[in-house]
Amino acid sequence: MDIVLQQLVNGLTLGSVYGLIAIGYTMVYGIIGMINFAHGDVYMVSAYITAIAIALLTFFGIESFPIIIIGTLFLTVAVTGAYGWVIERVAYRPLRNSSRLSVLISAIGMSLILQNYVQLSQGANQQGVPTLLTGAIRFSVGDGFVQITYMKLLILLISLLGMGVLTYVIQKTKLGRMCRATQQDRKMASILGIDTDKVISTVFVIGAMMAALAGVLITLDYGAFDFYVGFIIGIKAFTAAVLGGIGSLPGAMLGGLILGLSEALFAGLISSDYKDVFSFSLLVLILIIRPSGLLGKPEVEKV
């Protein structure tokens, strides 16, 4: 029983991070109908920026954990958001009216550029950051116990806060109304005076910022990363987006939580060696059984 509860805790933490990254996939798809395959590498870039931000803050003599975490979040989210803007301007906007295959090739090319750029500038060896937050809460369960580290609590808190703020922005603000209008009908939104190019760029920036939020949290928790870390977690976040319904913001959050819980339970109760195989098998199964996802709507071809 204690193993199941422990894996549920781990799964909630992992799922909340998957959900943050999946938001980037689902928002871009909802707006332009394309998958940003460079999104996982945006997460990877945010991990390196996290390490650089921590190094800069400590270099200037800042030792307070709250200041370090807030400063790191601010710097990483801002710089990674700029990466998202550049990706849209370079890899997507020039090909917006081209075939889907051209955009797909451009996105894959951007992914390879980011990987090689980081490899050449930061080195191919695995990097790491020191542990900044230690300690845990333990609950006795039968003959065992369930442990929740303070870092995992922080991940859950910041993830839920980030999702809540984004939901409010999309549902209640002028920017959110413009995003939803552009998603429903880009041409009509443009006719009504909405700068759809600006909206699309903003969506790429928001998606990158959510990936940066996940990058900071996971980097602080695990402590190690390399230039290839974005591929696996990017595919898993894409699986979460498909599971919840690609294009659906609540679906991305739900899909992330379901995938995180499923993967953690599979790793804890069956085998951790095949948890990645399980995740990718789940993606194939979803595409076969329900391509539109749990909360997604089947696409109707426009005539």
Are the beta carbons of 32 and 93 closer than 8 angstroms?
A: no
What is the pLDDT confidence band of residue 1, given thresholds at 50, 70 and 90? low
**Residue 300: pLDDT over 60:** no
- 125, burial (CB in 10 Å: exposed 0-12, middle 13-18, buried 19+): exposed
Are the beta carbons of 240 and 282 closer than 8 angstroms?
A: no
Q: Identify the H or E element spanning 246.
A: none
pLDDT tens digit sequence for 249-295: 888 999 999 899 988 888 888 888 888 888 788 878 887 888 888 88
**Whose CA is closest to 72, among 220, 257, 191?**
220
* Confidence at residue 289, expressed as pLDDT on a 0 to 100 scale: 85
pLDDT tens digit sequence for 141-193: 777 778 888 999 999 999 999 999 999 999 899 999 999 999 888 889 999 89
Grouping H, G, I as helix, E, B as strand and the rest as coil, residue 144 is strand
Average of pLDDT values for 99-118? 90
* Confidence at residue 303, expressed as pLDDT on a 0 to 100 scale: 41
Question: Where is pLDDT greater, at 142 or 53?
Answer: 53
The top-level CATH class assigned to 2-289 is mainly alpha
* Confidence at residue 298, expressed as pLDDT on a 0 to 100 scale: 64
**Residue 3: pLDDT over 70:** yes
Q: What global pTM score does this model have? A: 0.90
Delimit the domains of the chain by residue range. Answer: 2-289
Grouping H, G, I as helix, E, B as strand and the rest as coil, residue 130 is coil
Are the beta carbons of 245 and 33 closer than 8 angstroms?
A: no
* Confidence at residue 143, expressed as pLDDT on a 0 to 100 scale: 73
- If you average pLDDT over every residue of the chain, what do you get? 88
* Confidence at residue 208, expressed as pLDDT on a 0 to 100 scale: 95
**Residue 195: pLDDT over 80:** yes
CA 38 from centroid of its chain's CA atoms: 12
* Confidence at residue 302, expressed as pLDDT on a 0 to 100 scale: 45
* Confidence at residue 270, expressed as pLDDT on a 0 to 100 scale: 86
